[in-house]
């Protein structure tokens, strides 16, 4: 059962590379080419919100005890961000199945929802990892980030001529988390009461 759980978690992180990075990048360029403002706006919001997921990866590399909590919050916020906007949802509903950009966007949103739910379910199978990621049973959550850690180490050494360590990753993750949290508070206090669930993607022709 532990082997199956480990394989499932590893596969989830591999799928996240495809559906949290690869497909959104493709959709971003595709929507710009097609000049579809609704999808462009949706993806611009997505990239801002999804920064928390990448922050959580830094925290997992740094073995921050509550990194798994941040990972689950990030996937939850990502899911909310791609479904939240009434004007974008109304716009996407106007296109039929033959318009491949919006059809792909709709399929991608459902896949993101599934990935978020899958992370949540798997996390609760290792409930203790929510507060103590450094225990032996939680090692399965740290292994998928080892390749990312090695890649960042190489890039960090190439650009800065210094070693990238786990404490540095933890510090950068916590600092980024603070900035992200302040930005989220600002949006919740200023923009959300004003705009509600309106993304304003078509206002004055602006994206």
Pairwise CA distance, residues 141 & 139, whole Å = 5
Which uninterrupted H or E stretch holds 149?
helix 146-160
Q: How many domains does the chain have?
A: 1
Q: pLDDT per residue over 162-184, tens digit each?
A: 788 999 999 999 999 999 999 99
The string of DSSP codes covering 49-86 is HHHHHHHHHHHHHTT-TTHHHHHHHHHHHHHHHHH--H
Report yes or no: 118 and 9 within 8 Å, Cβ to Cβ: no
- Alpha helices, DSSP H only, in the chain? 2-17, 23-34, 37-61, 67-83, 86-93, 100-125, 139-142, 146-160, 166-186, 192-195
**Residue of 180, 154, 183, 149 lying closest to 167 (CA atoms):** 149
- Low-confidence winner among 11-20, 48-57, 187-196 (lowest mean pLDDT): 11-20
Q: pLDDT per residue over 25-82, tens digit each?
A: 999 999 999 999 999 999 999 999 999 999 999 999 999 999 999 999 999 999 999 9
Pairwise CA distance, residues 126 & 129, whole Å = 6
pLDDT of 204 above 80 = no
pLDDT of 207 above 50 = no
pTM: predicted TM-score of the whole model, two decimal places: 0.90
Domain that holds residue 160: 2-205
Pairwise CA distance, residues 138 & 133, whole Å = 5
């Amino acid at each position: 059962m532990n082997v199956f759980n480990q394989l499932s978690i590893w596969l989830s992180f591999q799928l996240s590379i495809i559906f949290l990075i690869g497909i959104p990048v493709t959709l971003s360029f595709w929507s710009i080419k097609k000049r579809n403002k609704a999808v462009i706006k949706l993806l611009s919001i997505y990239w801002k919100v999804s920064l928390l997921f990448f922050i959580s990866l830094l925290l997992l590399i740094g073995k921050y005890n509550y990194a798994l909590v941040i990972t689950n919050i990030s996937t939850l916020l990502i899911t909310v961000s791609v479904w939240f906007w009434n004007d974008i949802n109304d716009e996407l509903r106007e296109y039929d199945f033959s318009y491949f950009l919006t059809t792909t966007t709709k399929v991608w949103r459902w896949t993101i929802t599934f990935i978020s739910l899958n992370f949540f379910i798997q996390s609760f199978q290792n409930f203790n990892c929510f507060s103590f990621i450094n225990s032996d049973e939680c090692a399965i959550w740290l292994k998928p980030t080892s390749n990312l850690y090695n890649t960042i180490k190489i890039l960090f050494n190439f650009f800065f001529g210094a070693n990238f360590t786990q404490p540095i990753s933890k510090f950068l993750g916590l600092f980024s988390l603070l900035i992200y949290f302040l930005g989220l508070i600002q949006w919740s206090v200023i923009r959300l009461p004003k705009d509600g669930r309106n993304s304003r993607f078509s206002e004055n022709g602006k994206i």
